[in-house]
Amino acid sequence: MADETLPFIPVRFAVLTVSDTRSLEDDRSGQTLAERIQSAGHVLAERAIVPDDIDEIRTIVSCWIEDDGIDVVITTGGTGFTGRDVTPEAVEPLFEKRMDGFSAVFHRLSYEKIGTATIQSRATAGVANSTFIFAIPGSPSACRDAWDGILSLQFDYRSRPCNFVEIMPRLDEHLKRGKLQA
């Protein structure tokens, strides 16, 4: 439910595609997220592609969570069980706080569409340096499910009963500064 009397507050996103085979020209998953982010009125602050390599993934996500111009990092790809799927291993050590509910809700939405195949994803999320981080599977369908069913609502300040945007200024309250002002 949205409270249309409240203002929309744009949030700054970075999208990282993890793939050994994709380029920006044929990255349908990253493009799906980028289009949805911008169509919702948010800012696409960064977009990149890196290979399935723990160090390369962690390096770019670490840079982005240090960037005051980025509020949210979404990775797509590398969440499966094959030997090259290492995104959770790359990002989870960065988490200061885990967001177990994201994975639970993502799997519930996914189950409705693909059944038990959803267990083949290790979708994960957390917060690091006052920045939200989401690691979702590398298919356009999974990106649509995560954005349409979860992220678009949680990153809309008008969404009730609560949303991530309203707590963003308090993510780093122990540091006595806020990133966004409502």
Q: What is the pLDDT of residues 108-126, one digit of tens each?
A: 999 999 999 999 999 999 9
Q: What is the pLDDT of residue 75?
A: 98
Q: Could you give the dihedral angle defined by the CA atoms of residues 99, 102, 104 and 108, in that order, rounded to the nearest 10 degrees?
A: 180
* Distance (Å, whole) CA 15 – CA 1: 26
Q: Give per-residue pLDDT as tens, 60-105.
A: 999 999 999 999 999 999 999 999 999 999 999 999 999 999 999 9
Q: Please state the pTM of the whole predicted model.
A: 0.94
Q: How many residues does the chain have?
A: 182
SS3 22: coil
Domains and CATH numbers, the chain: 12-171 (3.40.980.10)
